[in-house]
């Protein structure tokens, strides 16, 4: 939820306080089940007399309940994405997670307002690691881990939110510019606020101009129509609502103002995808269940990566954002009210 807030700055010399108006956004998902702290085994080191031998992978101390979670099956994911880069703008990522580390090609922080989080892209919250896993977790080198929608895709991690899940608009905008300038094909943003931020919208315009496909959470402020969050509400962004395993929309999933004409416009939800009790990677090296439109968003981002190369019908290894978005719309299956509705938009996209 976006908050118009006043950031308090303490003057150490005279203990005076001044206020600075800022736009504050929040990640759009939270844990529903945790499995505690994972105690990982230390990796074995190679003796001095065999320096050429590779260091073996540490043994797992935890495995997921499902190697292919229910949401991956629902949209027919779990494969593909080669050559496509997905930028996840979130709280960072667990760079050592066995199901993610091989896919990470870039990992930066664009956080400027929270001192503990400006040093690196490590995930002090868990939300970003969870989102990234749904996009492209690859099961790990031992095959015992979890799989995301497009496990062959590359992961660009751009930390724009702090360890408490708060994200300033200028940091988000900086992250969007970075992703667009450094080769991202898709930007996944499981964040939202109640009103538009000109810095973010300008950055989205810039990214779209460079052929990037932005995807964002619809928000967790439902069930009223028009409760959709920005930046998902922006017409140039795919806004994603949540559904459960029975293809029902939870009350908390934000609604758009969809008018039923099958044309996505400002403040309209585009899709409804899995977002309830989603198992994915977590920042303790293990796994957790979370719910929210935050969890629905990476299902669409991953599906876009999986279908990127075939959406334009050429199979030439290139693909583009416009054709991919149109393709996702064309394969969406109606799951809520008939037609283009405020809760699930055009429906549930399922890969052929």
CATH code for the domain in which residue 210 is found: 3.40.50.200
Q: Which of 294, 299, 323, 341 is catalytic?
A: 294
Kindly list the distances between the CA atom of residue 154 and the CA atoms of 10, 84, 223, 300, in Å, as whole numbers in the listed order: 42, 6, 35, 15
What is the pLDDT, as a whole number, of residue 311? 84
Asked if the structure places residue 264 within a domain, the reply is yes
Asked about 123 being catalytic, the answer comes back as: no
Asked about 125 being catalytic, the answer comes back as: no
Asked if the structure places residue 273 within a domain, the reply is yes
Our CA angle for 237, 239, 240, nearest 5°, is 145
Asked if the structure places residue 219 within a domain, the reply is yes
Q: Which of 90, 123, 162, 244 is catalytic?
A: 90
What is the pLDDT, as a whole number, of residue 336? 85
Number of domains the chain is built from: 1
Asked if the structure places residue 48 within a domain, the reply is no
What is the pLDDT, as a whole number, of residue 38? 34
Radius of gyration of the chain (CA): 20
Asked if the structure places residue 293 within a domain, the reply is yes
Asked if the structure places residue 3 within a domain, the reply is no
Report the C-alpha gap between 261 and 22 in whole angstroms: 37
Structural domain boundaries enclosing 190: 23-34+61-349
Q: Report, as ranges of residue numbers, the positions in the chain whose pLDDT lies below 50.
A: 1-20, 33-51
Asked about 127 being catalytic, the answer comes back as: yes
The whole model's pTM is what?
0.86
Report the C-alpha gap between 112 and 172 in whole angstroms: 10
Asked if the structure places residue 41 within a domain, the reply is no
What is the pLDDT, as a whole number, of residue 205? 98
Report the C-alpha gap between 305 and 55 in whole angstroms: 32
Q: Which of 97, 125, 127, 299 is catalytic?
A: 127
pLDDT tens digits along 205-232: 999 999 999 999 999 999 999 999 999 9
What is the pLDDT, as a whole number, of residue 57? 65
342 within 8 A of 239, measured Cβ to Cβ: no
Asked if the structure places residue 46 within a domain, the reply is no
């Amino acid at each position: 939820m976006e908050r118009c807030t006043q950031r308090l700055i303490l003057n150490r010399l005279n203990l005076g306080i001044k206020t600075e108006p800022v736009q504050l956004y929040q990640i759009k998902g939270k844990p529903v089940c945790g499995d505690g702290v994972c105690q990982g085994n230390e990796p074995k080191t190679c003796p001095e007399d065999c320096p050429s031998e590779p260091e073996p992978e540490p043994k797992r101390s935890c495995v997921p309940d499902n190697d292919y979670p229910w949401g991956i099956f629902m949209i027919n994911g779990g494969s593909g994405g080669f050559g496509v880069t997905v930028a996840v703008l979130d709280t960072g990522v667990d760079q050592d997670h066995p199901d993610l580390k091989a896919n990470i090609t870039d990992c930066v922080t664009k956080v400027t307002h929270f001192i503990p989080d400006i040093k690196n892209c490590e995930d002090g919250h868990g939300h970003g690691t969870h989102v990234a896993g749904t996009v492209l977790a690859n099961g790990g080198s031992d095959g015992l881990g979890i799989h995301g929608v497009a496990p062959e895709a590359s992961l660009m991690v751009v930390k724009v939110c702090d360890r408490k899940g708060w994200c300033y608009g200028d940091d988000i905008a900086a992250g969007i510019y970075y992703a667009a300038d450094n080769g991202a094909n898709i930007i996944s943003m499981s964040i939202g606020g109640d009103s538009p931020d000109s810095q973010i919208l300008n950055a989205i315009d810039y990214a779209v101009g460079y052929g990037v496909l932005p995807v964002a959470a619809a928000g967790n402020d439902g069930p009223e129509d028009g409760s959709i969050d920005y930046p998902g509400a922006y017409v140039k962004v795919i806004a994603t609502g949540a559904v459960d395993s029975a293809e029902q929309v939870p009350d908390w999933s934000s609604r758009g103002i969809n008018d039923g004409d099958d044309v996505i416009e400002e403040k309209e939800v585009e899709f409804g995808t899995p977002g309830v009790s989603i198992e994915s990677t977590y920042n303790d090296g293990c796994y957790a269940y979370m719910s929210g439109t935050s969890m629905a968003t990476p299902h669409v981002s991953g599906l876009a990566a999986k279908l990127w190369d075939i959406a334009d019908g050429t199979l030439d290894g290139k693909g583009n954002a416009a054709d991919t978005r149109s393709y996702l719309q064309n394969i969406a299956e109606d799951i809520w009210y008939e037609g283009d509705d405020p809760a699930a938009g055009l429906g549930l996209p399922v890969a052929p």
